[in-house]
Structure 1
């Protein structure tokens, strides 16, 4: 049976967590014989070849970051009018608001809007969500904490929001001792205790707190290392802070990496210092690999990291607290760290496997189509 058409609209197509989740969902649905397309508001910077190889066309509305362009609404309406999807599924605040506005021009049967962060830009955007809510069939949140906040601030009524978490490919992200030995040798980190952080070098990730915490770690564990994978607008400032803190050679900036599963297998533990989050993909991935985790207690982090069981949670913007939790992990025996990592993987397999999450999305699409009286 030919599955119905679903179009995904995203603010951008880059190597961010939200975009990665969208791409994985689109590709899984394609394998399940859904007719899938991806539309990016900004010119796509990643994943185009991967999507097109699997038969998923990618469209761009050719917007420029930070510059409103009313023509983008007309371009989106033109694509939707031509493709006639039964479901339009938008991701992130700008795409969510644009998708809702498109209903003034063309009435796609089902519109689902997914919010990927607990805060998406302050009161003005929350008011935008509230005012445009009647144009949307359902808003979803990737974390329970985000859902509760959206209801509390009045952005979305409780009856029109649902929690569907991010999912992770537990086959791609799994323990792998072979890649561990190979990559540690390549990176020259064979004997040290190594931490990893993966994420954009932007304000939300609060790398200054991480670097200050790691400077404390170095006082007691001078041979430990911290790997940071990612790019961003704050790259120069973060690298300068590492030098100013005397961490040259101890903190290794790797840039964007396409071998994150191998990187995670090569290290001993994962650290996240975010000031705010939604449902971080990297925490799901690190847990699936079996790493003990130290993370700030923001957004949906506590839904992934079970405090004291799969890792430790600390308040945000507290370098001393972050350093203390990191030292707690380093002081565990290898067997205790392995048990913590194993508990993390079991938690992911039970609650966040990609197959399970895709089934949730399929069920939701069919539920909403049936509610609209659309036969599939």
Structure 2
């Protein structure tokens, strides 16, 4: 970092500390190594400890992910405003819907520059509910304030332009996914064995296409007894689309899927699988698919924004129709019946695509350039 009166102060705000720790570790490592003071502002979870061990300061944030109670949201806004007034960060990055909206307003009120990173549009653009309409109005208001608004894919950017949610369309930037550490997620050859293992990794939400995955598993298991269908990720999370533990227990009792719980490190489970599945309704650019491709796992995903950024149909994986268990089942069957050589070629092409387009190093460089442009401080 160039000489400056005080160290560079950067804040990252998200609805889970886990997401900051999991998806932006390369950025955090670069910032702390260059002497920046990094503050992570999020609801407290088990990742506060490893974040603090990396040299970050962690601040607990009240956020109600579910619902639109104005009192709860005002509490979020005021907590951020007080934090920004007290610590005067040089730049704040906001991630996920509530930090994007209330954080952008709080930063404006506190006179602090901010960037909004839309990590995926989620229920706001999937559902036609009253809450979704309110969210769009709030986006329209709040997104007047950030210096830049980053989108992870073209479709999300287009959706905001079409709905006229950007007061300053010239401030929109495309960040091609948040990148993956190619050394951490090294290529592993596909396993040679009798069983064929599919795995769906992510928070267990209906919006992730879990119901379609279970239905497809049910229809395929009768014909392909060697096929196994795994689910990995937190259940009953704080999200309007959350799946309950009761549902998951019913599926495991029925022997349709194996529930693996949560994992601190997904790599052994990706390595043990033959194919990674994500039948999501909409994504930013899904980290699990980048990680799976980096490790040389063919993918079956839905032909929706975010997924089609990572998966090239017939090249690195297969795409199916959204919200269609039968379309998903036919693509899973196609994957099952490919020859080992065809799957291995797919795996190799997936690794090459991720190395070409989603290397985390490129993303970190992008952050560095932006921080310098806005703060005048070089890293």
Contact 1:6 1:87 in 2 (8 A): yes
2:307 is aligned to 301
Of the three residues 72, 76, 82, the one matched with 2:80 is: 76
Please, what TM-score do these two structures have when normalized by structure 2?
Answer: 0.87
- Residues 120 and 95 from structure 1, CA distance in 2 versus in 1: closer, same or farther, beyond 3 angstroms? farther
Aligned residues, how many? Answer: 356
- CA 1:267 to 1:243, structure 2 compared with 1: closer, same or farther past 3 Å? closer
Ranges in structure 2 where 5+ consecutive residues have no aligned partner: 125-131, 237-242
Quick check: 1:92 aligned with 2:104? no
Tell me the TM-score normalised to structure 1 length: 0.87
Instruction: Show CA shifts across 1:66-106 (max 9, x none).
Output: 55343443332332233221111111110011222213531
2:173 — aligned with what?
Answer: 162
Give the counterpart of 2:17 among 13, 18, 29: 13
**Secondary structure at 2:41's aligned position in 1?**
strand
How big is each residue's C-alpha offset from its partner over 1:194-241, in whole Å with a ceiling of 9 and x where there is no partner? 111111111211211001111222122111111111122214353255
Structure-to-structure mapping, 1:111-190, within 5 angstroms: 111-119=114-122, 121=124, 122-156=132-166, 157-164=168-175, 165-176=177-188
Greater shift in the superposed pair: 320-329 or 20-29: 20-29
**Paired residue for 2:265, among 255, 259, 278?**
259
Deviation at 1:330, TM superposition (A): 1.4
Regions of 4+ moved over 4 Å:
63-67
Alpha-carbon displacement from aligned partner over 1:142-186 (angstroms, at most 9, x marks no partner): 122211111111112431211112111111112236xx87xx9xx
Q: CA RMSD in A?
A: 2.4
Contact 2:15 2:63 survives alignment (8 Å): no
Structure 1 pair 357/27, CA: closer, same or farther in 2 (3 Å)?
same
Partners of 1:272 and 1:294 within 8 A in 2: yes
Residue 38 of structure 1 corresponds to 40
State the secondary structure of the residue aligned to 1:140: strand
Query: Please, which runs of 5 or more residues in structure 1 have no aligned partner?
Result: 185-189
Matched-pair contact (CA < 8 Å) for 1:12–1:19: no
DSSP-derived class of the 2:347 partner: helix
Of residues 347-356 and 211-220 in structure 1, the stretch that sits farther from structure 2 once superposed is: 211-220
1:221 aligns with 2:224: yes
Residues 208 and 241 in structure 1, CA contact (< 8 A), matched pair in contact too = no
Matched position secondary structure for 1:148: helix
The 3 A distance-change label for structure 1 pair 8 and 333 is same
Q: Tell me which of 256, 265, 270 is aligned to 2:276.
A: 270
Of stretches 30-39 and 193-202 in structure 1, the one that deviates more from structure 2 is: 30-39
